[in-house]
Structure 1
């Protein structure tokens, strides 16, 4: 049985398909009966070079096109013309019907955007949605900050009122408590005895206290140095984690695409998370993987 099918030619990652007539029992790249044209689906407009008369000839001979070739023939009006021929229409009627079909097709093509236009429209829509999300997050953060500031202000006012009340109570208590002369004299005697006792302390005890003070200062200095080293290490770890944890959802789509194009593939692991819903960013990563 004769088949009209595509035969792959060209080079790696840049194929060009030949539209050929071949025996169904032959392999895909095997011997052919006739070459009808070329089909290049890599270009944006899907360029086609086809011998229409020979294609109709082989269809009349009973050759069956594959699904892909049938779609190409249908898009070119060949299947419609073959249908009119089978109905027994005259050449004038066929030409008139094909002219009307071509006019309707041209009107439809004018309304359909190109692939590049669809890609640009998708990118603009994603950018608009991303900006909207950023604005929403900023507004929520500002509201939360204002709420925290209001709560902090209320706490400060309450603490201030409590402190004022405490001070007033202390002043009233001090005014009511006036020590008697005897109590003052006894307190003076006690203070005199304590001073004398302190003067009689041996010099060794004073030296021991100075040594303990020096030891405490050394320990305090060592602890402060350790805390500074720990803070410096924590700051460095935080900066490294921020640099390593950067993901595409924190960037604009254009910035994320440029980062994917300018970064080696082995360093892009985890850059595009699962919640990344922008198609352009996902396509950029897929293209990067295919070209690597």
Structure 2
């Protein structure tokens, strides 16, 4: 039997397979059984999310430490999950999650920091943790914040979850020089839509994961006839399969496969190169709000 979702459903956002689907989809999709998912939290610093169980499959995205997910199935070492952050559905390693017990209290507010096993920066770090990772902090000392699992993080590198940045372009600029990585969301590697999503998330603005979703959902459409001078700082410029951020007059900030990193370059030059060599013409411009 070949399983396919009805046209209205996007497999990236719909937890449904031929053998199993989310209980809330009963009556909307065909499946052998419907299950209530288990609310869990990512327990590793970086967890790849893939469209299949194949180890060599291209990834779709990444889950960060503390990210809340719903786990619908575990089988063969893989968990079938949906991210609460952006709704993305896929497969991740089964041992990467733990039950939600208490809500997160803090987020990582710098590009990257370390989780230590004790209150000393001389100790070998347990692992690095990335911007927008979520932690439940039990107590703080003069230097460290102590998590509910006993980890120690430099307190100055964290912010309460309700405290957000105000300039997403400035946040995006902290990723300059980061290697391009398909499906990446951190300074270890990031892709074009991951850069937009991560920068906006730091400002408390939730947006979808992929460029096609972002172009439909983020901000309001801005007319564009090809003149970069008509665009404002913070505008998002879209191509079919690519997105960049206007960071200044005739300046584009983006993670891209041409430079294989996050760069700033002349917007007019990028438009010409992308038109001629990769994604074609600009398909749209979206504006969230005035950015200082």
So what's the TM-score if we normalise by structure 1? 0.22
Higher helix share: 1
Output the TM-score relative to the length of structure 2.
0.22
Greater relative contact order: 1 or 2 (C-alpha under 8 angstroms, separation 6 or more)?
A: 2
Larger Rg computed on CA atoms = 1
As a proportion of its length, which structure holds more strand?
A: 2
